[in-house]
Amino acid sequence: MRIGICPGSFDPVTNGHIDIFERGSKLVDRLIVAVFENPTKKPLFSMAEREAMLHETTRHIANIEVVSFGGLLNQYAIERGATIIIRGLRALTDFEYEFQRALLMKKVEPTIETVFIMASTQHSYISSTGIRELACFGGKLEGLVPSYVEGELKLKFKDKYKA
C-alpha cells in the first residue's frame, strides 16, 4: 500500500490546498493530510479547528485521513508507513524553499520521496496568509476557500462581516 503525507499548517485550508489533496490522492492508496503545529507561527485557528475544517472540506475524497502531529515529519512518516511526501507549489519561491526541504528529508530519510504538485492556475495566487489578511479586513472570500471555511473565517472576524 502506497501511503503519502501532505503536511502543512492549513491555517486556514484554501481551495488551493483542496486541489492539491484531490490530485495527490490519485497518486497514493492513502493520503494523510497532516496538520502540524509550527512553533514559530501564531495560528489564527487552533489545531482542533484546523482539523475540523479539513475533515469537513475533504469528505468527498475517499482515501484521505486527516490527523495532527508534532515533531519531525520524517519520524512521523516512518511511524505511519508513508514513503511519499506531497507538497504543493505555487511559485518559484515555493520551489526554492521546498526543494531545500526535500533534499534535507532525503538526507535524513532516504526511503522517503518528495513529490511536488504544481498549483492549478486558478489557485496559484491563493495563500493562507493572504486569506487571513483578507478576512481580517472583511474582504471577499468567495471562491478562495471552501464555503465551510468561509463561514469559520467570518465567525473569527464577525465584527468585519456584519450583515
45 pLDDT higher than 90: yes
91 pLDDT higher than 80: yes
> Given this model, what pLDDT does residue 92 score?
78
Q: Is 3 exposed, middle or buried (0-12, 13-18, 19+ CB in 10 A)?
A: middle
What is the arithmetic mean of pLDDT over 130-154?
96
What is the reported pTM?
A: 0.92
pLDDT in tens, 6-18: 999 999 999 999 9
Known binding site for substrate: residues?
9, 41, 73, 87
Strands (E), the chain: 3-8, 30-36, 64-69, 84-89, 113-118
Count how many residues are written for the chain: 163
106 belongs to the catalytic site = no
> Given this model, what pLDDT does residue 50 score?
97
Catalytic residue among 30, 55, 80, 90: 90
d(CA 41, CA 47) in angstroms, rounded, equals 13
17 belongs to the catalytic site = yes
Architecture of domain 3-124: 3-Layer(aba) Sandwich (3.40)
Domains of the chain by residue range: 3-124
pLDDT in tens, 52-74: 999 999 999 999 999 999 889 99
d(CA 115, CA 140) in angstroms, rounded, equals 32
> Given this model, what pLDDT does residue 163 score?
59
